[in-house]
Amino acid sequence: MAASNLLLLNGPNLNLLGEREPEVYGTTTLLQLETLVTARAQELGATVRAYQSNHEGALIDKLHEARKWSQGVIFNPGAYTHYSYALRDAISSVPKLRVVEVHLSNLLEREPFRHLSVIADVVAHRIMGKGIAGYLEAVEWLLKH
Ligand code: DQA
- 25-64: pLDDT as tens digits: 999 999 999 999 999 999 999 999 999 999 999 999 999 9
Asked if residue 92 lies in contact with residue 123, where contact means CB atoms within 8 angstroms, the answer is no
Reply yes or no on whether the pLDDT at 9 is more than 90: yes
Of the pLDDT bands very low, low, confident and very high (cuts 50, 70, 90), residue 2 is low
Q: Count CB atoms within 10 A of the CB of residue 81.
A: 22
Dump pLDDT digits (tens) for 92-141.
999 999 999 999 999 999 999 999 999 999 999 999 999 999 999 999 99
Q: Nearest C-alpha to atom 2 of ligand 1 is from which residue?
A: 78
Q: Is 103 a catalytic residue?
A: yes
Give long-range contacts, CB 8 A cutoff, 24+ apart: 53-57: 53/10, 53/11, 53/12, 54/11, 54/12, 54/13, 54/15, 55/12, 56/80, 56/84, 56/86, 56/87, 57/86
- pLDDT recorded at residue 18: 97
Specify the pLDDT at position 1: 46
134 CB under 6 A from ligand 1? no
Q: What is the mean pLDDT of residues 78-89?
A: 98
The CB of 103 under 6 Å from ligand 1? The reply is yes
Cα of 82 vs centre of ligand 1, distance in Å, is 9
Cβ of 15 less than 6 Å from ligand 1: no
**CA 50 / ligand 1 centre spacing (Å):** 18
Domain extents in the chain: 4-144
Which option is the CATH number for 4-144: 3.40.50.9100, 3.10.50.30, 3.30.70.3280, 2.60.40.10? Answer: 3.40.50.9100
* Ligand 1 atom with minimal separation from the 14 CA: 12
Q: Which residues pair with 76 in a beta bridge?
A: 10
* pLDDT higher than 80, residue 3: no
pLDDT tops 70 at residue 12: yes
Catalytic residue (choose from 83, 103, 125, 135): 103
Say whether 125 is catalytic. Answer: no
